[in-house]
Structure 1
């Protein structure tokens, strides 16, 4: 099976020490591409500074909240620090921030558990990260990575591409949940009421067409130019028509925040260290608390693995066997970022799929991550600038990058149904369940079972059986919650 690798040139002469350290010339990149890629990734991810506080805004069992300004500040700080660490040490163009799947899981499922407070919830996140650090240090996490069949790895790349594209379409309001004639709901539909209307959707469509034309014409900086064009258009439309943010009374508004320059406020970092490491074990008991740690661990464990595989392959930063250089460093930074997110009460930090936007712009090294990280740190003090770029302006870039990643599907051997069907489940369930981990879990279970049914169980790596069993437990977590009275 063919593997996409970067056109590296080990004999390329580095321009200076920075070039040599990050292998910019060796990976056939330039400082200009890395800077553009870093900026594009930041613009594609900056919404998390606004969205993460909203997701974590609910009260815990005691009625206490974390505070939106505090979570916003800590979100930007941790995204900056962990992304810079990834760039400096692992030297890959991966950016990290509070993971959307896990923060929703914390807010909707874990924080609503009786007798559990936010410091105790974040203590569970810290513990999950520390367990993952041990798994990385012992080589277990990389061993699991290496045990994944080639078809599933390719399926992960394709799935992340579909997932990124769906995020873009949903963020832009191009795809929405629609009511049907019976008054129930169908999963998704076109626009609002089955029609495309509203200025934000127009911004998305124009941005997508501009980006697509520039990319197909191989214009340097195509994705970044597309984001800037859409951002300028969005701000003009908001200034003229006062569209406003989307709400029940304004369904055609901007999906998160209206483009604007709001007032400045100093960052509030008071949540740092507000965590109870073992409080949940006292409040809930060791069995229930351990189950919750396991659920968090399994989600962040495979989300990061899937994202790093997808982005590294799209960047061409893999060898002939499909292995990622410095993979253990990537996994260690990711594990530490999970604990750091819990310690700061900002939720687990993870590698973001939007890093693919920077890769699509040409980023190939950790230098791009440093640019992204620095911009996040600056954003702590210049939060009004975040509001200039609405979701609809970034969404076209996500759709185009998703297309680039989905093209990897040609490398799957579709004649081998025992591998192709699990790969199909892997990439189709990522967007359909809005979870990278769900897609990986379904693919691994299917691969182990189908290969066994074919009489080819010896082709299933022993670790894959372990992981498949863990995912069976993960998918059945609702049953265990009922058994232990957590419903």
Structure 2
């Protein structure tokens, strides 16, 4: 008598967890998802230290935000929104305080006379809410669909180069160098043009090991590389007492660890007193309506395209793009990102965005939202282990970023280099992302170039009307300083 059980691999023969997260459909397993979620967390956990360093002293009202308080809300927001991404959007995309936007807030916006930190966070919340409306109305998806294929490929390649540069810089392999005249050249090799110090050795060993394991298709290759480099880093620190590149007194140590020296994390109660310290419309009173509106626009345009570009790159790397080029549940991805921008502002920890380092987990095999749930839970635990990055230095995860960057950049072969009208804008897109340390800058330059070159070729009809609108918005964005000066806004 034939069995009535459904064959393995069919929808009825799979469990509810498998069906909901599409594990089998996406060619993944629970083991891959857990490894991928852990790898993404290890690659991203530095933000718990770095975001407070960027933001902690930016309150122009007189007081400082404080590193412990910013660290706590950074981990909390990252954990919550990454879990939401995993459970609702079901993609292996993790979110945390965006590095580009937090620097923009602390270095540019926070220096505006009279503007307080709660009011700055109010601007971020408003930008996130506006973006959520744009997602709900379908506008953000329509802009995504208007981007030509060559630019989408350029975005993927650019994100790959950006990830690799982050890894090289984090490891101290690439740094700014003084020239003979005492000024600076953009980048150079190591310290003073030479590679020196134990941390750089950790990076080199980790990169070689990870590359070999990936080439040999060893399961868990990226995670093994991170763990091995971490062990080596902790052994070297215990033996040689290398210390961080800048100590607590501000003294430089060029051959030290790039951010913190490896050490065991300590158990502390998180200080969440910054939560809700937001003045939604305070900036309109402090600097005037026009100036506040311009600042909201600048924040909105920056975060609007970061998630769009990052999600394209990560989805294509994960192989979850549909045959027609669309991304499953893209509206959910974009909505979570918009709410994370607003939620990050509400937590007073800066706008949260999809992190390109999610590619580390994807390179480890993550294909579903389960990996994001794992990453999010680890961020919540990190609130109490302040911070876990003390155990895993930058130099240990940097090799994974370089390898994943290579994987994504290899898609440059899909660009038709004989079609200058598409290839040159794609080229601008992927070189400006790492060169300006901004995904949005690369996308903006590529869109402007595409519209201009196609028009110059007499093929303006090939430029989608929405692409024209976005290109004009980016012209305004890039010229923000000029417009502010013309309007007398400082």
Same fold at TM > 0.5? yes
Q: Which residue of 267, 270, 280 corresponds with 2:270? A: 267
| Counterpart contact for 2:265–2:391, Cα < 8 Å | no
Q: 1: CA distance between counterparts of 2:38 and 2:332?
A: 23
| Counterpart contact for 1:158–1:409, Cα < 8 Å | yes
Structure 2 counterpart of 1:71: 70
Structure 2 counterpart of 1:458: 461
Structure 2 counterpart of 1:184: 183
| Counterpart contact for 2:265–2:385, Cα < 8 Å | no
Q: 1: CA distance between counterparts of 2:13 and 2:466?
A: 41
Q: Which runs of 5+ in 1 are unaligned?
A: 1-8
Shift of the 26–13 alpha-carbon distance from structure 1 to 2, 3 Å rule, reads farther
Q: Which residue of 437, 448, 453 corresponds with 2:451? A: 448
Structure 2 counterpart of 1:92: 91
Q: Which residue of 385, 391, 409 corresponds with 2:388? A: 385
Structure 2 counterpart of 1:166: 165
Q: Once superposed, which parts of structure 1, at least 4 consecutive aligned residues long, lie more than 6 Å away?
A: none
Structure 2 counterpart of 1:125: 124
Q: CA deviation at 1:66?
A: 1.4
| Counterpart contact for 2:38–2:375, Cα < 8 Å | yes
| Counterpart contact for 1:265–1:381, Cα < 8 Å | yes
Q: CA deviation at 1:220?
A: 0.1
Q: CA deviation at 1:17?
A: 1.0
Alignment of 1:369-380 (within 5 A): 369-380=372-383
Structure 2 counterpart of 1:223: 222
Render the CA deviation track for 1:1-33: whole Å, top value 9, x for unaligned: xxxxxxxx9846664111110000111111100
Structure 1 counterpart of 2:5: none
Quote the RMSD (CA, aligned, Å): 1.2
Residue range with higher mean Cα deviation, 54-63 or 196-205: 54-63
Shift of the 440–100 alpha-carbon distance from structure 1 to 2, 3 Å rule, reads same
Structure 2 counterpart of 1:154: 153
| Counterpart contact for 1:304–1:351, Cα < 8 Å | yes
| Counterpart contact for 2:49–2:387, Cα < 8 Å | no
Q: 1: CA distance between counterparts of 2:13 and 2:359?
A: 25
| Counterpart contact for 2:274–2:348, Cα < 8 Å | yes
Shift of the 381–353 alpha-carbon distance from structure 1 to 2, 3 Å rule, reads same
Residue range with higher mean Cα deviation, 442-451 or 62-71: 62-71
Q: CA deviation at 1:320?
A: 1.4
| Counterpart contact for 1:152–1:419, Cα < 8 Å | yes
Structure 1 counterpart of 2:314: 311
Residue range with higher mean Cα deviation, 454-463 or 178-187: 178-187
Q: CA deviation at 1:486?
A: 4.4
Render the CA deviation track for 1:351-374: whole Å, top value 9, x for unaligned: 000000000000000111000001
SS state of the match for residue 188, structure 2? strand
Alignment of 1:463-478 (within 5 A): 463-478=466-481
Corresponding pairs, count: 479
Q: Which runs of 5+ in 2 are unaligned?
A: 1-7
| Counterpart contact for 2:33–2:370, Cα < 8 Å | yes
Structure 1 counterpart of 2:4: none
Q: CA deviation at 1:158?
A: 0.1
| Counterpart contact for 1:14–1:20, Cα < 8 Å | no
Structure 2 counterpart of 1:419: 422
Q: 1: CA distance between counterparts of 2:22 and 2:252?
A: 52
Q: 1: CA distance between counterparts of 2:332 and 2:373?
A: 16
Residue range with higher mean Cα deviation, 314-323 or 90-99: 314-323
Q: 1: CA distance between counterparts of 2:42 and 2:216?
A: 23
Structure 2 counterpart of 1:363: 366
Structure 2 counterpart of 1:406: 409
Residue range with higher mean Cα deviation, 381-390 or 351-360: 381-390
Render the CA deviation track for 1:425-460: whole Å, top value 9, x for unaligned: 000000000000000000000000000000000000
Q: CA deviation at 1:322?
A: 1.2
